[in-house]
């Protein structure tokens, strides 16, 4: 069996003069010059044409592969049908078309005639000019693309700025409307309270300083909010008889008490009261071993400002297990208070405060 033929180096028989022209005169690397001649039909024009098309290929600088197959290269050319000139490469065709304005060409199997040194030098110069023109065209296109990208960037920046400003305006508008609504709600609530207080004042004057028909199973429940009512003036327990005690608020009405507190919207007063109630009941649930959390001082500023004025707040504390001390200055958690009821009420208060 015959041994396989030795690998043939494709660059072995390349035209040394063409290689010199491509490397020294035109600045291509030796490897690229060899690849250009191999794939460009062995001519300088064909090599330049191939290198211009493949200069950005990933494998352009990979070593040339040797081949064991022997193939003959057929020299092809292009013929101008208008003047009959035979052109060795597409680059020569482009130069001829630019110079003459001819546009009718066809492929030809006729080999282009060899160039004289003078013609070769002229052709090299023309190819350099063509390369320069293409490079300038590419650079000009890149400049145009850069300008367009910059315009697009600025446009997008302006649009984003407009969008941000629009969102900020809408946010300011919403906040202004919210403040206006809060002021209006506060004003309406203040007027309502003033009317209730005026009504109660007139009723006291007509009943020697007492409000009639205000004592029920839930204790004292006036129409208006009472801020500075003395204990001796409050209609509790029918003091003149001294025989009946006030009925304790029912735990079944805890939801109703929470709703009453949450209904105070003006100035966020209902939310502030709910927050304090969460703290009172939460401390009793979370730290039952600490005695300080079993007593609520009704004389301190927090209780007077955020609990006492609101109908349903004190009743809720009484309903979950607190009872008023004998001197009327504090609320104390009873020993038999239901811890499960306290825990459930704590959860309801937290939900109401979150939804407020």
11 lies in some domain: no
Q: Which CATH number belongs to the domain containing residue 346 in this structure?
A: 1.20.58.2190
User: What total number of domains does the chain contain?
Assistant: 2
Contact assessment for residue 131 and residue 52, using Cβ atoms and an 8 Å cutoff = yes
157 within some domain: no
Listed residues 76, 99, 115: the one ending a domain: 115
DSSP 274: H
Give yes or no for a contact between 89 and 40, defined as CB atoms under 8 angstroms apart: yes
Could you give the angle at the alpha carbon of 277 between the alpha carbons of 183 and 214, nearest 5°? 75
Residues sharing a CB contact under 8 Å with residue 50, sequence separation 6 or more, in sequence order = 35, 36, 39, 40
Q: What is the CATH number of the domain that holds 103?
A: 1.10.8
At 48 the pLDDT is 84
Asked whether residue 221 is assigned to any structural domain, the reply reads: no
Token duo for residue 241:
């008889």
pLDDT value, residue 234: 42
Q: What is the pTM of this model?
A: 0.36
Q: Which range marks the domain in which residue 354 is found? A: 248-356
Query: What is the residue-level pLDDT of the chain in tens, covering all 356 positions?
Result: 455 555 567 676 787 888 888 888 788 888 888 888 888 777 787 888 888 888 788 888 888 776 544 444 444 577 888 887 877 777 777 778 888 888 888 877 665 666 677 877 887 787 788 778 888 888 999 999 999 999 999 999 889 988 999 999 999 999 999 999 999 999 998 898 888 888 888 888 888 766 554 444 444 444 444 444 444 444 444 444 344 445 567 778 899 999 999 999 888 899 999 999 999 999 999 998 898 999 999 999 999 999 999 999 999 999 999 999 999 899 999 999 999 999 999 999 999 999 98
* Per-residue pLDDT tens over the stretch 150-185: 999 999 988 998 899 999 999 999 999 999 999 999
Query: Residue 215 falls within a domain, yes or no?
Result: no
Alpha-carbon separation of residue 335 from 107, 270, 284, 288, 320 (angstroms): 111, 29, 12, 11, 12
Nearest residue to 258 via CA among 317, 218, 306, 308: 317
Angle at which helix 269-286 crosses helix 339-355, to 10 degrees, equals: 150
Kindly state whether residue 111 falls inside one of the protein's structural domains.
yes
On whether residue 153 sits in a domain, the answer given is no
Last residue of a domain, one of 73, 99, 115: 115
């Amino acid at each position: 069996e015959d041994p396989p033929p030795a690998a043939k180096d494709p660059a072995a028989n390349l035209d040394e003069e063409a290689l010199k022209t491509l490397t020294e005169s035109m600045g291509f690397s030796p490897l690229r010059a060899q690849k250009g001649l191999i794939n460009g039909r062995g001519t300088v024009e064909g090599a330049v044409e191939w290198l211009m098309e493949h200069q950005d290929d990933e494998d352009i600088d990979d070593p040339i592969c040797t081949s064991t197959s022997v193939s003959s290269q057929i020299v092809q050319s292009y013929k101008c049908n208008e003047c009959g000139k035979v052109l060795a490469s597409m680059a020569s065709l482009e130069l001829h078309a630019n110079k003459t304005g001819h546009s009718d060409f066809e492929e030809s199997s006729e080999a282009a005639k060899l160039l004289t040194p003078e013609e070769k030098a002229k052709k090299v110069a023309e190819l350099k000019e063509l390369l320069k023109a293409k490079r300038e065209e590419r650079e000009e296109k890149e400049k145009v693309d850069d300008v367009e990208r910059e315009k697009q960037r600025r446009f997008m920046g302006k649009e984003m700025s407009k969008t941000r400003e629009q969102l900020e305006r809408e946010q300011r508008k919403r906040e202004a409307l919210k403040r206006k609504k809060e002021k209006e709600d506060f004003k309406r609530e203040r007027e309502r309270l003033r009317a209730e207080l005026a009504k109660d004042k007139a009723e006291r004057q007509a009943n020697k300083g007492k409000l009639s028909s205000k004592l029920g199973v839930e204790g004292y429940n006036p129409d208006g909010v009472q801020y500075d009512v003395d204990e001796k003036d409050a209609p509790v327990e029918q003091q003149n008889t001294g025989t009946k005690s006030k009925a304790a608020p029912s735990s079944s009405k805890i939801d109703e008490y929470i709703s009453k507190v949450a209904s105070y919207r003006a100035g966020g007063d209902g939310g502030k009261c709910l927050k304090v109630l969460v703290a009172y009941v939460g401390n009793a649930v979370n730290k039952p071993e600490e005695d300080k959390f079993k007593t609520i001082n009704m004389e301190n500023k927090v209780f007077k400002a955020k609990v006492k004025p609101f109908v349903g707040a004190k009743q809720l504390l009484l309903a979950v297990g607190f009872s008023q001390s004998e001197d009327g200055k504090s609320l104390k958690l009873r020993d038999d208070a239901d811890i499960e009821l306290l825990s459930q009420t704590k959860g309801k208060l937290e939900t109401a405060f979150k939804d407020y």
